[in-house]
C-alpha cells in the first residue's frame, strides 16, 4: 500500500505525516496526531462526536477520507482555546451542566461553535437545527441548548462575561446550580476515555461473533489466522485457564462461546494483532463449523413443555421467578365493584451510550493482570475474572476509565475477559474498541416484557386487589435478569397501597440478545402497566386521574407490596407539584372535548421543526424588500 | 471498514478520466464519501477492499455553477449546503433549500454532492424528486479517442432502479443541469423516523407558479421519491392543476391521483396515504413560498393551513 503524504495545518500548527490511503480524517487525528478529543461514536456519520472544522466548515471526520484534507486548515476541539483557557461556548457548557458523561461533548461544542460562527444571531430553533447532526444520550439536550444561548448572548455582548461564571451558592447546595468538577476536562476534549488511551507496543484486538442464534460449535480452526504476519495471538474458550462463567447474578456466560452459541453476536474467538486492519483480516481466516439448533425467540415459547433447552442448568428455561403475595386477592376481587383486565407489552431498548465499549488489558511486571475499561461494576468484575483466569484476587486489577454513558449497559463483563486472556497470552498491552454495530449486537438490552393485569376497584376509586403477572425476555444469558425481575416485582403495583395483591415476575432464557440492566431496572416496564391501568380506571370510574391516585397513594404508615411499613411518604407532594407544574385541567378524562386546555403551555418543549434558517432569512429579506400584495 | 490500495486526487478532468479508464476492476469514484464509508460496515457491505479510489472533488472543472438558456449547470462538486448558503442558487432553485434542510445534517451537507446522491441511485434519495421537478439532466463525461466527450441524460431516465443507472463504466458524472425557476414557490416534504439524519420513507418536491393575482396555477411541477424503484414525475397531477383556478378542492383532486403512483412493495398502504397528504402539503407550502404573490383560493377556508 503506497502511503499518502498529508501536509496540513492543524490547530494553527503545520504538520506533515504519512497516512494509509484508506485512513479517515478521524483515524489520522486520533492515531497520528493524538488529538483524541475528537471521538468515534458510530463511525457512520450518525452521532456527530467526530465533528471538526476543515477550512472553516464543520464536517464529520469519520466520513472524510484523510486524503481530502491535504493542504487544508483543520481545527479540532483542542484548538478552540489556548491551553488552560476555555472559549465562551466551552465555559457555558461548564456553567449549565451540559456535559454529563462527556463523550458527545467535544462534538457538541464544535457544532455549537459552528452554529454561532455561521449565524451569531441564530434563534433557538435555528440553534436546534444546526445541532441536529449531534446526538446526546444523557441530557435530553435542554442544558446544551441553554449553554449555547448563554454563549451566544455573551459573545454578542448582550450578557456580561460574568454570566459564564458559577452561580453563587448561599445557605445550601441543595437546589443550587453547582458546576461539575469534571466538566472542563470534557468540554476541552482532554479527558481520556478507554479508546483514547495508548500504550507502547499495544496490540489491537477484534472479535469473531456468531452469525447464528443457537448452534453447536463443531470445530474452530484458527491456524490460518495464527499463521498470518502481524497476528500476535488468537483465543477461544479453550484458552480460559480457570472456571469460566460470569454474570451479575448467575455465572452462566462464558468469556467466549463454549460448545455452543446462544445468540447472534456472541463472541466465538478473538484476534490480537499489530494493527486493526490485520486483526480484521485475521478474523476472516478463522473457520468455525456450526450445527444449527432449534431456537427460542418468544419468551412464551420458552416455558412450553418440550421447548429447546438453552442452558443445561435450567431445563425449564427459567432465569428467575419472583412471587409476591399480600392479603387475599380472591376476597379483594369479591369486594370489588369493577374489575379491569388488560395486557401491556414493552419492547427491547438499546442504551446507545455515545461511547462504544472499549478497553485495554496488560500484565504488569508483578504478573498482575490489569484491565482498564468503562465498567460499571469493577469490583464484581475483578472477583469474577480472578476465578476465570485462575489467579488470586491480588493478581487481578480493574481500573475504571471514564464512562461515556452506561445507563446499566456497561455492567456486564462481555469483553474484559477476552482482553485479559490476550494480554496473558502475549504479555503485551491489548486494546479492543467496539464498533457501534458491535455494541448494538453484543451488549445487553432493556427486557422486553408482557404484563397481564387484573385490578379490582370500588366505585369510590379504591383498589381492592391486583393480580400482576409479568413475563420478560431475558435473552441468551442471565446478566442482571434476576435483579430486574426482583425490582419489577417490588415496584409492580406502583406507589399505591393495595391490601390484596398477587405479583409474579418471570425472566426466561431465549436466543435473543441478552437483556440486562437499564435505567429503572424493571421499574419502567411495571410502571407502564400500572399507570396505564390507573388512567383506564379513572376513565371507567369517571374520576380525575389525579384524584384516583390520591385515593390510593401510599402514606406514612402504609404497608408496601412487600409489607414494609413506611415511615416517610411524599407522593402527596409529588402529585401536587406535578398537578401545578402541568397546569392540569381538572376532571375525568371524558369531560374534555377534542382539545385540552393544559397542553403546550410554558416550559413545554416544542417539537423541532426544520427550516428555521430559511424562514429567518426570508424574514430578513422581507424587512428590506417591499412586498407586492 | 473500507480499505484500498490507492487513493487518487486528480485536479483536472482529462487526468481524472485517464485514471478512471485505466483503474483496476472494482475501483470506485468518490465524491463526498458520506455514503461509501458507512456502506463498508457491518450490516451493509462489511469490510471492503477496493483497488483504487478516485476522488473527484479536486477536479477544477467540476467546481461552481453557470447559467445558460434558462438552465443552471451545477458542477459535480456542488454540495447540499450550497443550497442553504448561496443566495443565487436559493432564488433560482426554490425547492432545493427545503430539500437540503431535510438532507442529513449540516456537517454531511458540507461534503455530500448532489451528483453523488444521484449516481448512488437510492430510491429514497432526497435529492432525486427535487432534481426531477426541475427537469434535471445529468452530464456524463468520458474520454473518446483521447478527447473529452459528454452526454446529457434526463435524471428521470438515468435512474433505472435501486443502485442502477445509465452511467457507463468509463464515465464520470460531471454536472447536473436544472431549469431555473425564479419566481416560483418551492417546497419539499419528507417522512422518516426523525428529523435530522434520517433516510426518507417517502419524499416529494414541488414547484408552483401562480399568476400575479394568485388565482391561477400557471405552472406546477411535482415529483415523488421513495415510493418506487425509480423517481416519479407526477405529470397527471400537474396537468390537472396547470391553467386552473386555485382552490383547495382542486388541490385535493390532484393529491388523490398520487396514491396510484406508489409502486413500493413494502408499507404500501402507508405510503399511499402519505403521498396524498404530501402532494396536498407540497402544493400548499409551495404556494405560500412563492415570492410576491398573495394566493387567492377560490374556496378560501376561514383558517387556512399555515
| Residues B230-235: contacts with CB under 8 Å, at least 24 apart | B230/B123, B230/B156, B230/B159, B230/B160, B230/B161, B231/B128, B231/B129, B231/B132, B231/B155, B231/B156, B231/B159, B232/B129, B232/B132, B232/B261, B233/B132, B233/B133, B233/B156, B234/B258, B234/B261, B234/B279
Q: Sorting pLDDT into bands at 50, 70 and 90, what band is B302?
A: low
A41 and A151 co-located in one domain: no
Per-residue pLDDT for B107 more than 70? yes
Q: Mean pLDDT, to the nearest integer, of A70-87?
A: 97
A60 and A88 co-located in one domain: no
Cβ neighbours of A64 in B, within 8 Å: 33, 111
Per-residue pLDDT for A7 more than 70? yes
Q: How far apart are CA A565 and CA A435, in angstroms?
A: 48
Q: Domain end: A49, A73, A97, which one? A: A73
Percentage above 70 pLDDT, chain A: 98
Domain with residue A457: its CATH number is 3.30.365.10
Q: Mean pLDDT, to the nearest integer, of B263-292?
A: 88
Q: Is residue A288 in a domain? A: no
Q: Sorting pLDDT into bands at 50, 70 and 90, what band is B270?
A: confident
Please give the ipTM for the structure prediction.
0.95
Residues contacting residue B44 through CB under 8 Å, at least 6 positions apart:
B38
Q: Is residue A402 in a domain? A: yes
More confident residue, A603 or A80: A80
A359 and A433 co-located in one domain: yes
Q: What pLDDT is attached to residue A554?
A: 98
A16 and A32 co-located in one domain: yes
8 Å CB contact of B33 and A613: no
Q: How far apart are CA B108 and CA A133, in angstroms?
A: 8
Q: What pLDDT is attached to residue A603?
A: 77
Q: Mean pLDDT, to the nearest integer, of B210-221?
A: 96
Q: Mean pLDDT, to the nearest integer, of A404-432?
A: 98
Q: Sorting pLDDT into bands at 50, 70 and 90, what band is A341?
A: very high
> Looking at the DSSP assignment, which residues form a beta bridge with residue A36?
none
A380 and A453 co-located in one domain: yes
A39 and A158 co-located in one domain: no
Residues contacting residue A9 through CB under 8 Å, at least 6 positions apart:
A15, A72, A73, A74
Q: Mean pLDDT, to the nearest integer, of A190-209?
A: 98
A500 and A584 co-located in one domain: yes
Q: Sorting pLDDT into bands at 50, 70 and 90, what band is B303?
A: low
Give the domain range for residue A392: 316-594+603-629
Shortest CA gap A289–chain B (Å) = 21
Q: What pLDDT is attached to residue A532?
A: 98
Per-residue pLDDT of B144-168, as tens digits, reads: 999 999 999 999 999 999 999 999 9
Q: What pLDDT is attached to residue A56?
A: 98
A54 and A86 co-located in one domain: no
Q: Which of A43, A60, A611 sits opposite B108 (nearest CB)?
A: A60
Nearest CA in chain A to B44: A437
The continuous run of DSSP H or E covering A181 comes out as none
Q: Mean pLDDT, to the nearest integer, of A596-610?
A: 78
Percentage above 70 pLDDT, chain B: 98
Q: Sorting pLDDT into bands at 50, 70 and 90, what band is A369?
A: very high
Q: Sorting pLDDT into bands at 50, 70 and 90, what band is A534?
A: very high
Residue A509 has a CB neighbour count (10 Å cut-off) of 28
Q: Express the helix, strand and coil content of chain A in percent, nearest 5 each.
A: 30, 20, 45
Q: Is residue A283 in a domain? A: no
Q: Provide the mean pLDDT of chain A.
A: 95
Per-residue pLDDT for A194 more than 90? yes
Per-residue pLDDT for B300 more than 90? no
The number of domains in chain A is 3
Residue A244 grid coordinates: 469460566
> B137 with B154: CB under 8 angstroms?
yes
A66 and A89 co-located in one domain: no
Q: Mean pLDDT, to the nearest integer, of B71-89?
A: 98
A51 and A111 co-located in one domain: no
> B223 with B154: CB under 8 angstroms?
no
Q: How far apart are CA A436 and CA A355, in angstroms?
A: 9
Q: Mean pLDDT, to the nearest integer, of A356-365?
A: 98
Cβ neighbours of A58 in B, within 8 Å: 106-107, 110
Q: What pLDDT is attached to residue A629?
A: 38
A61 and A86 co-located in one domain: no
Q: Domain end: A73, A97, A127, which one? A: A73
8 Å CB contact of A68 and B197: no
Q: What pLDDT is attached to residue A627?
A: 42
Among A291, A304, A310, smallest CA distance to A253 is for: A310
Q: Domain end: A21, A55, A73, which one? A: A73
The continuous run of DSSP H or E covering B174 comes out as strand B172-179
- Substitution target from A8, A23, A132 for chain B, most B beta carbons within 10 A: A132
Residue A464 grid coordinates: 381492592
Q: Is residue A323 in a domain? A: yes
Longest CA–CA separation in chain B, Å: 67
Place of cell 419492547: A347
Q: What pLDDT is attached to residue A626?
A: 45
Q: Is residue A255 in a domain? A: no
Residue A462 grid coordinates: 379504591
Percentage above 90 pLDDT, chain A: 91
Residues contacting residue B269 through CB under 8 Å, at least 6 positions apart:
none
Q: Sorting pLDDT into bands at 50, 70 and 90, what band is A126?
A: very high
Alpha carbons within 13 A on the beta-carbon side of A154: 20
Residue A227 grid coordinates: 499463521
Q: What pLDDT is attached to residue A185?
A: 97
Q: Is residue A405 in a domain? A: yes
Q: What pLDDT is attached to residue A598?
A: 83
Per-residue pLDDT of A268-297, as tens digits, reads: 999 999 999 999 999 999 999 999 999 999
Q: Mean pLDDT, to the nearest integer, of A294-313?
A: 98
Interhelix angle A142-156/A105-118, nearest 10 degrees: 40
The continuous run of DSSP H or E covering A399 comes out as strand A396-400
> A104 with A372: CB under 8 angstroms?
no
Q: What is the count of residue pairs from A and B with beta carbons less than 8 Å apart?
A: 123
Q: Mean pLDDT, to the nearest integer, of A75-84?
A: 96
Q: Mean pLDDT, to the nearest integer, of A152-179?
A: 92
Shortest CA gap A63–chain B (Å) = 5
The chain B residues in contact with chain A (CB within 8 A) are: 1-7, 9, 30, 32-34, 37-38, 41-43, 47, 53, 55, 57, 81, 84, 90, 97-98, 101-102, 104-108, 110-111, 195-197, 292-294
Residue A609 grid coordinates: 421543526
Least confident of A321-330, A521-530, A616-625, B132-141: A616-625
Among A446, A363, A436, smallest CA distance to A411 is for: A446
A47 and A110 co-located in one domain: no
Domains of chain B: 2-55 (3.30.43), 61-179 (3.30.465.10), 185-288 (3.30.390.50)
Q: What pLDDT is attached to residue A628?
A: 41
Q: Is residue A227 in a domain? A: no
Per-residue pLDDT for B66 more than 60? yes
Q: How far apart are CA A90 and CA A188, in angstroms?
A: 7
Q: Provide the mean pLDDT of chain B.
A: 94
**String of DSSP letters for A607-619:** PP-S-HHHHHHHH
Domain with residue A162: its CATH number is 1.10.150.120
Q: Sorting pLDDT into bands at 50, 70 and 90, what band is B263?
A: confident
Residue ranges of E strands in A425-571: 430-433, 449-457, 463-475, 501-509
Alpha carbon distances (Å) from B43 to A283, A392, A435, A441, A474: 16, 41, 12, 10, 24
Q: Mean pLDDT, to the nearest integer, of A520-526?
A: 96
Q: What pLDDT is attached to residue A624?
A: 58
Q: Is residue A285 in a domain? A: no
Residue B10 grid coordinates: 486528480
Domain with residue A53: its CATH number is 3.10.20.30
Amino acid at each position: 500500500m503506497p502511503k499518502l503524504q498529508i501536509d496540513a495545518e492543524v490547530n494553527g500548527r503545520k504538520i506533515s505525516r504519512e497516512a494509509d490511503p484508506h485512513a479517515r480524517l478521524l483515524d489520522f487525528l486520533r492515531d497520528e496526531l493524538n488529538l483524541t478529543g475528537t471521538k468515534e461514536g458510530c463511525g457512520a456519520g450518525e452521532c456527530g462526536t467526530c465533528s471538526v472544522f476543515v477550512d472553516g466548515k464543520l464536517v464529520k471526520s469519520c466520513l472524510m477520507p484523510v486524503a481530502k484534507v491535504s493542504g487544508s486548515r483543520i481545527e479540532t476541539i483542542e484548538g478552540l482555546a489556548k491551553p488552560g483557557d476555555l472559549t465562551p461556548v466551552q465555559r457555558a457548557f461548564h456553567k449549565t451542566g451540559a456535559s454529563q458523561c462527556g463523550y458527545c461533548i467535544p462534538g457538541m461544542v464544535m457544532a455549537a461553535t459552528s452554529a454561532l460562527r455561521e449565524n451569531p444571531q441564530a434563534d433557538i430553533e435555528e440553534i436546534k437545527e444546526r445541532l441536529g447532526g449531534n446526538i446526546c444520550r444523557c441530557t435530553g439536550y435542554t442544558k446544551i441548548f441553554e449553554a449555547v444561548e448563554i454563549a451566544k448572548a455573551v459573545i454578542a455582548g448582550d450578557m456580561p462575561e460574568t454570566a459564564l461564571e458559577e452561580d453563587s451558592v448561599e445557605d445550601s447546595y441543595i437546589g443550587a446550580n453547582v458546576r461539575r468538577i469534571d466538566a472542563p476536562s470534557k468540554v476541552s476534549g482532554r479527558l481520556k476515555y478507554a479508546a483514547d488511551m495508548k500504550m507502547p507496543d499495544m496490540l489491537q484486538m477484534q472479535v469473531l461473533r456468531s452469525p447464528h442464534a443457537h448452534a453447536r460449535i463443531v470445530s474452530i480452526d484458527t491456524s490460518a489466522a495464527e499463521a498470518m504476519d502481524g497476528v500476535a495471538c488468537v483465543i477461544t474458550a479453550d484458552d480460559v485457564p480457570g472456571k469460566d462463567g460470569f454474570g451479575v447474578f448467575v455465572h452462566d456466560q462464558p468469556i467466549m462461546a463454549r460448545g455452543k452459541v446462544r445468540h447472534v453476536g456472541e463472541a466465538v474467538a478473538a484476534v490480537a494483532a499489530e494493527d486493526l486492519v490485520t486483526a480484521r483480516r485475521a478474523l476472516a481466516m478463522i473457520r468455525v463449523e456450526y450445527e444449527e439448533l432449534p431456537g427460542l425467540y418468544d419468551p412464551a415459547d420458552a416455558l412450553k413443555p418440550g421447548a429447546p433447552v438453552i442452558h443445561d442448568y435450567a431445563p425449564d428455561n427459567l432465569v428467575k421467578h419472583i412471587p409476591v403475595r399480600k392479603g387475599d386477592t380472591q376476597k379483594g376481587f369479591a369486594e370489588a365493584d369493577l374489575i379491569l383486565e388488560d395486557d401491556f407489552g414493552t419492547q427491547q431498548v438499546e442504551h446507545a451510550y455515545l461511547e462504544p465499549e472499549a478497553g485495554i488489558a496488560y500484565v504488569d511486571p508483578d504478573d498482575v493482570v490489569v484491565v482498564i475499561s468503562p465498567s460499571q461494576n469493577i469490583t464484581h468484575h475483578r472477583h469474577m475474572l480472578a476465578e476465570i483466569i485462575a489467579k488470586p484476587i491480588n493478581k487481578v486489577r480493574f481500573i475504571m476509565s471514564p464512562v461515556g454513558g452506561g445507563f446499566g449497559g456497561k455492567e456486564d463483563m462481555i469483553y474484559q475477559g477476552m482482553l485479559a486472556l490476550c494480554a496473558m497470552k502475549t504479555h503485551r498491552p491489548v486494546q479492543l474498541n467496539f464498533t457501534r454495530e458491535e455494541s448494538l449486537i453484543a451488549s445487553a438490552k432493556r427486557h422486553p416484557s408482557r404484563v397481564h393485569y387484573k385490578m379490582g376497584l370500588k366505585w369510590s376509586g379504591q383498589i381492592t386487589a391486583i393480580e400482576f403477572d409479568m413475563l420478560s425476555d431475558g435473552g441468551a444469558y442471565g446478566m442482571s435478569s434476576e435483579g430486574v425481575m426482583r425490582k419489577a416485582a417490588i415496584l409492580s403495583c406502583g406507589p399505591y397501597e393495595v391490601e390484596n395483591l398477587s405479583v409474579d415476575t418471570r425472566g426466561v432464557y431465549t436466543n435473543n440478545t441478552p437483556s440486562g440492566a437499564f435505567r429503572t431496572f424493571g421499574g419502567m416496564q411495571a410502571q407502564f402497566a400500572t399507570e396505564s391501568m390507573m388512567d383506564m380506571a379513572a376513565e371507567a370510574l369517571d374520576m380525575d386521574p389525579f384524584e384516583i391516585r390520591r385515593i390510593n397513594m401510599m402514606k406514612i404508615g402504609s404497608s408496601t407490596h412487600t409489607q414494609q411499613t413506611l415511615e416517610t411518604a411524599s407522593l402527596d407532594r409529588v402529585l401536587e407539584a406535578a398537578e401545578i407544574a402541568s397546569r392540569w385541567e381538572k376532571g375525568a378524562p371524558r369531560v374534555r372535548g377534542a382539545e385540552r386546555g393544559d397542553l403546550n403551555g410554558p416550559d413545554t418543549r416544542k417539537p423541532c421543526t426544520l427550516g428555521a434558517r430559511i424562514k429567518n432569512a426570508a424574514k430578513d429579506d422581507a424587512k428590506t424588500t417591499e412586498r407586492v400584495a | 471498514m473500507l480499505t484500498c490500495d490507492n487513493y487518487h486526487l486528480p485536479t483536472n478532468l482529462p487526468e481524472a478520466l485517464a485514471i478512471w479508464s485505466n483503474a483496476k476492476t472494482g475501483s470506485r469514484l468518490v465524491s463526498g464519501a458520506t455514503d461509501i464509508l458507512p456502506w463498508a460496515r457491518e450490516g451493509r457491505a462489511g469490510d471492503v477492499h477496493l483497488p483504487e479510489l478516485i476522488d473527484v472533488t479536486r477536479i477544477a472543472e467540476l467546481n461552481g455553477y453557470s447559467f445558460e438558456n434558462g438552465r443552471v449547470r451545477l458542477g459535480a462538486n456542488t454540495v447540499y449546503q450550497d443550497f442553504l448558503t448561496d443566495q443565487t442558487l436559493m432564488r433560482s432553485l426554490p425547492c432545493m433549500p427545503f430539500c437540503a434542510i431535510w438532507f442529513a445534517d449540516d456537517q454531511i451537507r458540507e461534503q455530500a454532492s448532489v451528483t453523488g446522491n444521484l449516481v448512488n441511485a437510492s430510491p429514497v434519495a432526497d435529492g432525486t424528486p427535487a432534481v426531477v421537478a426541475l427537469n434535471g439532466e445529468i452530464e456524463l463525461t468520458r474520454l473518446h479517442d483521447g478527447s473529452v466527450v459528454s452526454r446529457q441524460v434526463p435524471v428521470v431516465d438515468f435512474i433505472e432502479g435501486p443502485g442502477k443507472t445509465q452511467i457507463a463504466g468509463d464515465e464520470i458524472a460531471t454536472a447536473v443541469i436544472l431549469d431555473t425557476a425564479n419566481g416560483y414557490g418551492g417546497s419539499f416534504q419528507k417522512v422518516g423516523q426523525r428529523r435530522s439524519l434520517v433516510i426518507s420513507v417517502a419524499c416529494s418536491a414541488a414547484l408552483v407558479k401562480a399568476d400575479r393575482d394568485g388565482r391561477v396555477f400557471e405552472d406546477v411541477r411535482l415529483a415523488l421519491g421513495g415510493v418506487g424503484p425509480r423517481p416519479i414525475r407526477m405529470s397527471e397531477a400537474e396537468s390537472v392543476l396547470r391553467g386552473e383556478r386555485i382552490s383547495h378542492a382542486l388541490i385535493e383532486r390532484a393529491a388523490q391521483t398520487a396514491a396510484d403512483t406508489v409502486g413500493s412493495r413494502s408499507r404500501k398502504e402507508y405510503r399511499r396515504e402519505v403521498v396524498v397528504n404530501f402532494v396536498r402539503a407540497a402544493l400548499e407550502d409551495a404556494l405560500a413560498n412563492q415570492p410576491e404573490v398573495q394566493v387567492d383560493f377560490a374556496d378560501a377556508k376561514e383558517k387556512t393551513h399555515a
